[in-house]
Amino acid sequence: GDEKLAAEMPFNETKPLEYGDAAYTPHAGETREPPTPLATASTSTETIASPKLGDGQPDIGDNALNRPLDRVRVDDSGRELTTNQAVKVGDNQDSLKASLRGPTLMEDFILREKITHFDHERIPERVVHARGSAAHGYFESYDDLSAITRAAPFAASGKRTPVFVRFSTVAGERGSADTVRDVRGFAVKFYTDEGNWDLVGNNIPVFFIQDAMKFPDLIHSVKPEPNNGMPQAASAHDTFWDFASLSPEITHMLMWHLSDRAIPRSYRMMQGFGVHTFRLVNAEGQAVFCKFHWSPMAGTHSLVWDEAARLAGADPDYHRRDLWEAIDSGQFPEYELGLQIFSEEQAAQFPFDILDPTKLVPEEMVPVRPVGKMVLDRNPDNFFAETEQVAFCAAHVVPGVDFSNDPLLQGRLHSYIDTQISRLGGANFHEIPINTPLAQIHNNQRDGMHRQSLNRGRVAYDPNSLAGGCPFQAGARGFVSFPEPVNGNKVRGKPELFAEHYAQARLFWISQSAIEQQHIIGGFRFELTRVQSQAIRRRMLAGLVNVDAGLAAAVADGLGMEVPPPLPRATDQPPYDYPPSPSLSLRARPGHTGIRTLRVAILVALGVDGAQVRQLYAALLDDGAVPRLLSDRIGALATDDGAPLDVEISFETGPSVLWDGVIIAGAVPTVKGAPSGTLLHNDALALEFLKLQYRHDKPILALGSGAELLKAARIPRKLPHGVPDPGVIVAEPSDAAEALASFKAVLAQHRIYARETDPPRV
């Protein structure tokens, strides 16, 4: 079967065997015409002469750009080494020399080609969002939404559209750590039947500034300071907070940025937002306003700050690895797309301006309607070719989606294409395979750096008669901008409601649980402690007074400062008094995936109860969790029942922060040479492991003599206010099954925040 098929197919064609249809084709209710297969394409190019002298249209049976990525996949297995001209290379170890000890010859084109290519391997990194990780998948519409929008992905219930999604941090350079405090990018490229639509969003629904004019200043302030290049991937420095304290419009965003939203547990466990108000337009030209929301099926979960900081050292690729491994193991990340839809008339009633990207539309004012789900089911083949070269552009929309006049969005419409031209080396970046639409491209654009398509015929202009007028204008089938009436004087300025900067910051604050509020206070304390200028700290505190007096007092206390008088407000209008919005708390979305993909360390040592460990391990695997055996060193570990355990990871390579929970296995002191009783209690790494599991609010299960290790690590069994800690579970080996069930229930909740004290007890 497969072997025969492989032998008959052109070499690169064997790649889809790895992925099957998933290589590019969505199924289940898909309505897209698949691109012309390679075979037909090559016949049509060979047999149909180019109609050079214009008796009709050039045959464009296949657009070379529109085939699936298979056409550029390369697999070296079983092949001989060649140069880039496909000349076979006999010796890849030695350069060509004039005698063995003589100088290298200029003639050595093989050496020169290899080194030259190497010299040019890097391209400029993205000026923001340089660090990212991506995956392929599909979007599936729940319903036919054609009454609301003619956008192709929503044309039918069950319709699937392929997507490529890139998650990112904003401030850090390409090699920076994943777990830093930052906004996360959430950029989705839909390869729709009607061209590419890029929904280039973030994991926070509001932004730092209100106008594109300020973006370079914002970014210059948060990036490493230009004199010494420090700090990397961090907002905790004077220039950022200087800018922030002088830009009160930033206040709402800061509340999110200092919250646990900025340290997600996983890209699979954070929301995404289109941020700006967009328009959806149906085939009759009727428009509504829309805000886009992505919500993860795995729930919204975050790290705690001390853990995030340690993770940056323990595994700088933490989020990249997490995404890759989840997809690799078949636990596909899923997100539901929701729309908040409202009319011009509704918008006019809101106490904020819908064109202001520092404001959100509370779900209590406009509910979120779930309209489809996105599944990420395939890792990229090649990080550079796909994740690095993918070019998202906020201006890439398809018929049915349109912009609003949000002045931040308007600036973005220019920026993205412009930046790709320098980053990807020219105007033909749309021909790079990952950027190429699946729909056909036909226009009179020609030439430029690295042009790949072989546009046929002598006509590259419009109007023409020599090519029968092709390509034709599509008229109403094409993109038609919503005919919004515009009237007024040219001005530089802002609408009045833009001047109110605190009401929604307060809305966010009062909608958080007590522990979330504590974390925000901790975030401000950390960042402002790093700030050296007293004046900046004071200005920031003065702004916070306008959000909440208690917040300002708590942060001031952390900095050993007095609360200053409030910053003067920019408008005389009294701020709108929003009721709390429970959906703004991370706890609003616990998720429905149980303990799937969560990583559980099982601590073992010589003398451990082997049979019990094997049972625990199997039970966790069954539930889709990722159990691993940990000890002071790896390798075979003798057990009482004769069958050795295979210890997979040591404390030094698998420190506590890499695990979502821990099980301490009990001892059965019948193994020859094993210490009797407590295992690992002399190992400071094991004790530290437990302390950090506790400090980072993770569940701990101790079986049998494992309880002794808890004691040695001084782990309290009770919460600060005296009730038993549901996440410190101690049981006799005979009750292991019941204890494991309690452990799993707590693990599915991720953290026992009620443990936290300031400073920490453990």
Looking at the annotation, which residues are catalytic?
Answer: 129, 202
**DSSP strand pairing (287-296 vs 272-273):** antiparallel
Which of 23, 38, 155, 187 is in the footprint of ligand HDE by CB under 6 A?
A: 187
Q: Which has the closest alpha carbon to 393: 412, 374, 368, 372?
A: 412
Cα(241)–Cα(222) distance, rounded to whole angstroms?
8
Q: Which is nearer to ligand HDE, 420 or 656 (CB)?
A: 420
* Per-residue tokens: 528: 């402002």
Residue of the chain from 169, 202, 247, 597 that contacts ligand HDE (CB under 6 A): 202
Nearest-5° Cα angle at 581, 254 to 276: 55
Q: Judged by CB, which is closer to ligand HDE: 197, or 207?
A: 207
Residue 174 annotated as binding site: no
Stretch near ligand HDE under the rule CB under 6 A, chosen from 31-39, 80-88, 195-203, 672-680: 195-203
How far does the chain reach from its first CA to its final CA, in angstroms?
60
Cβ(554)–Cβ(544) below 8 Å: no
Minimum CB separation of residue 479 from ligand HDE in Å reads 21
Task: Out of 23, 200, 551, 748, point to the residue binding ligand HDE (CB under 6 A).
Answer: 200
Question: Residue 71 CB, nearest distance to ligand HDE (Å)?
Answer: 23
Stretch that binds ligand HDE, among 113-121, 142-150, 407-415, 574-582 (CB under 6 A): 407-415
In whole angstroms, how close is the CB of 493 to ligand HDE at the nearest point? Answer: 17
Give 41 or 206: the residue with its C-beta nearer to ligand HDE: 206
Instruction: Examine residue 412 and tell whether it contacts ligand HDE (CB under 6 A).
Output: yes
**Cα angle 76, 74, 443; round to 5:** 165
Among 73, 129, 265, 373, binds ligand HDE (CB under 6 A): 129
CB of 440 to ligand HDE, least distance (A): 25
Q: Which of residues 15-34 bind ligand HDE (CB under 6 A)?
A: none
Site string for ligand HDE, 611-630 (x = CB under 6 A): --------------------
Q: 292 vs 659, which CB is nearer to ligand HDE?
A: 292
Choices 142-150, 199-207, 493-501, 502-510; region in contact with ligand HDE by CB under 6 A = 199-207
Which of 444, 439, 419 is closest to 429 using CA atoms? 419
CB of 188 to ligand HDE, least distance (A): 9
State the Cα–Cα distance between residues 228 and 209, nearest whole angstrom.
Answer: 26
Residue closer to ligand HDE (CB basis): 132 or 607: 132
Identify residues 338-377 at the interface with ligand HDE (CB under 6 A).
Answer: 357
Whether residue 412 is annotated as binding a ligand: the answer is yes
Position closest to ligand HDE via CB: 185
| Smallest gap from residue 201 Cβ to ligand HDE (A) | 5
Size of the site for ligand HDE (CB under 6 A): 26
DSSP state at residue 252: H
Tokens standing for residue 135:
């995956």
Q: How far apart are CA 387 and CA 434, in angstroms?
A: 9
Beta bridge partners of 167: 133, 186
Residue 335 marked in a binding site: no
269 binds ligand HDE (CB under 6 A): no
Q: Which stretch binds ligand HDE (CB under 6 A): 408-416, 595-603, 605-613, 743-751?
A: 408-416
- Report, in Å, the least distance between residue 716 CB and ligand HDE: 42
Which range binds ligand HDE by CB under 6 A, 196-204, 451-459, 534-542, 565-573?
A: 196-204
Q: Contact with ligand HDE (CB under 6 A): which of 415, 440, 445, 518?
A: 415
Count of beta carbons in the 10 Å neighbourhood of residue 549 = 12
Cα-based torsion angle of the residue sequence 308, 635, 599, 175 in order, rounded to the nearest 10 degrees:
40
**Is 456 annotated as belonging to a binding site?**
no
Q: Tokens representing 206?
A: 């509001």
Cβ closest to ligand HDE, residue 419 vs residue 650 = 419
Which bin fits 116, alpha (ψ -120 to 50), beta or left (φ > 0)? alpha
CA distances from 493 to 325, 351, 526 (A): 48, 20, 35
Query: What's the closest the beta carbon of residue 294 comes to ligand HDE, in angstroms?
Result: 12
The residue among 401, 400, 478, 390 whose CA lies nearest residue 442 is 478
Of 145, 275, 459, 528, the residue at the interface with ligand HDE (CB under 6 A) is 275
Number of CB atoms found within 10 A of residue 588's CB: 16
What secondary structure does DSSP assign to 678-714, as a single string?
-SSTT-HHHHHHHHHHHHTT--EEEETTHHHHHHHTT
Quote the least distance from Cβ 166 to ligand HDE, whole Å: 4
In the complex, the smallest distance separating the C-beta of residue 490 from ligand HDE, rounded to whole angstroms, is 20
Of 208-247, binders to ligand HDE (CB under 6 A) are 212, 215
Nearer to ligand HDE, 154 or 294 (CB): 294
Q: Which DSSP string do the residues of 326-362 spell out, in sequence order?
A: HHHTT---EEEEEEEEE-HHHHHHSSS-TT-TT----
The answer to whether residue 128 forms part of the interface with ligand HDE (CB under 6 A) is yes
The answer to whether 272 contacts ligand HDE (rule: CB under 6 A) is no
| Phi, psi (deg, nearest 5) at residue 512 | -90, 150
Q: Does 455 bind ligand HDE (CB under 6 A)?
A: no
Q: Which two tokens stand for residue 508?
A: 């966010």
Quick check: 207 binds ligand HDE (CB under 6 A)? yes
Q: Is the peptide bond before 333 cis (omega within 30 degrees of 0)?
A: no
Q: Which is nearer to ligand HDE, 187 or 503 (CB)?
A: 187
C-beta separation of 573 from 579 below 8 A = no
Nearest CA-CA partner of 617 in 607, 604, 606, 632: 604
112 is in an annotated binding site: no
Phi then psi for 112, rounded to 5 degrees? -65, -40
The one segment of 121-129, 243-251, 473-481, 576-584 that binds ligand HDE by CB under 6 A: 121-129
CB of 129 or CB of 257, closer to ligand HDE: 129
How far CA 682 is from CA of 631, 688, 712, in Å, comes to 13, 11, 9
N residues, the chain: 762
**392 is a site residue for ligand HDE (CB under 6 A):** yes
Question: Does 176 engage in binding with ligand HDE (CB under 6 A)?
Answer: no
Using the rule CB under 6 A, which residue among 168, 266, 517, 705 binds ligand HDE? 168
CA distance 686 to 655: 9
Q: Does 133 bind ligand HDE (CB under 6 A)?
A: no
Among the listed ranges 72-80, 414-422, 462-470, 535-543, the one in contact with ligand HDE (CB under 6 A) is 414-422
Q: How far is the CB of 168 from ligand HDE (least distance, A)?
A: 5
- Residue 411 within binding range of ligand HDE, rule CB under 6 A: yes
Q: Count CA atoms closer than 13 A to 661's CA, side-chain side.
A: 29
Q: Please say which residue, 412 or 744, places its beta carbon nearer to ligand HDE.
A: 412
For 439, the token pair is: 């729909």
For residues 434 and 162, the answer to whether their CB atoms sit within 8 Å is: no
Q: How far is the CB of 273 from ligand HDE (least distance, A)?
A: 7
Distance CA 462, CA 202 (A): 40
Is there a binding annotation on residue 118?
Answer: no
Sort strands 184-192 and 160-169 into parallel, antiparallel or unpaired: antiparallel
Tokens matching residue 405:
């006049």
**DSSP, res 124:** P
Other Cβ atoms less than 10 A from the Cβ of 411: the count is 16
C-alpha distances in Å from residue 528, one per residue of 244, 391, 438, 506, 515: 11, 35, 48, 20, 20
Number of helical (H) and strand (E) elements in the chain, helices listed first: 19, 18
Segment interacting with ligand HDE (CB under 6 A) among 201-209, 296-304, 657-665, 681-689: 201-209
Site for ligand HDE, rule CB under 6 A? 126-129, 132, 166, 168, 185, 187, 200-202, 207, 212, 215, 275, 357, 391-392, 408, 411-412, 415-416, 419-420
Q: Can you say which residues are annotated as belonging to the binding site for heme?
A: 126, 166, 215, 412, 416, 423
